[in-house]
Amino acid sequence: MAPEPLTAERIYRQLKADLLNGVFPPGTQLVVQTAAELYGVSISPVRDCAHRLVGERLLELNHGGGFVVPQRDAQTLRDLYIWHGYLVRHALKASTSFGGDAGPMATLERGGPHHPKAIRDAAAWLFAHIGSRPGNQVHLYSVLAAGDMLSVARLHEQSVVRNVEEELLMIWNLTKAGRDAAVREAIWAYHRKRIRRASSIANKISAVSPSSNMPGKF
């Protein structure tokens, strides 16, 4: 029997949020039965949502059965930063004017809080805002997908990269001012810094063992 849509969507959102928040670090094995017990549902919605997240590259099929959270080694991070940077800079080719609220960037503009999740959310919103400029939903989806795959890395960037908030605020202020050439340069500098420090960021991620967040396998 197929899982009820509301249950499936709730489990999908919860499992995806836990992955993006690093609750289950890279290398964690996802055992469907254990996950079903954790979320208080049957096996079917968990299995279906896990397959959906495989399609988003937030989970991988485990050779021994079940699923596993993908590793984020240095080369993978470099590739992701390069890809994400290209997508966001490419969106600047579309002309637009700023409108609407500042979303999570408003938190940084007010000067806090500065915890990693707030900064991660601000970065995700900012680049999605820029990525939406062409009005191309496929392009925006690619920006969001690249950002999701970088989510855990962004949680660790502050311990490796200095002045992350200031970088984001500079990009944001230049964006609001319509200074596209300067925005393009600032975004390139943002990604270049992380590409150079990919090994250090990967080491920070790998230092968080699966067992430190959850007992045994997920």
Average pLDDT of the residues in 63-75:
91
Closest Cα to residue 132, out of 150, 144, 122, 121?
144
Q: 66 vs 5, which has greater pLDDT?
A: 66
Cα dihedral sign, 36-46-58-161: negative
Closest Cα to residue 69, out of 13, 151, 147, 135?
151
The pLDDT assigned to 216 comes to 38
Q: 107 vs 181, which has greater pLDDT?
A: 181
159, 119 Cβ separation under 8 angstroms: no
The pLDDT assigned to 213 comes to 44
Q: What is the CATH number of domain 74-204?
A: 1.20.120.530
Average pLDDT of the residues in 56-75:
92
Assigned token pair, 187: 């975004």
The pLDDT assigned to 215 comes to 36
Average pLDDT of the residues in 68-97:
93
Average pLDDT, the chain: 89
The pLDDT assigned to 81 comes to 98
pLDDT category at 66 given cuts 50, 70, 90 is confident
| CATH architecture observed for domain 5-70 | Orthogonal Bundle (1.10)
pLDDT over 90 percentage in the chain? 72
Closest Cα to residue 70, out of 58, 84, 88?
58
The pLDDT assigned to 217 comes to 42
Q: For the chain, where do the domains classified as CATH 1.20.120.530 start and end?
A: 74-204
pLDDT category at 4 given cuts 50, 70, 90 is low
Strand locations in 14-159, DSSP E?
Answer: 29-30, 60-61, 67-68
Q: For the chain, where do the domains classified as CATH 1.10.10.10 start and end?
A: 5-70
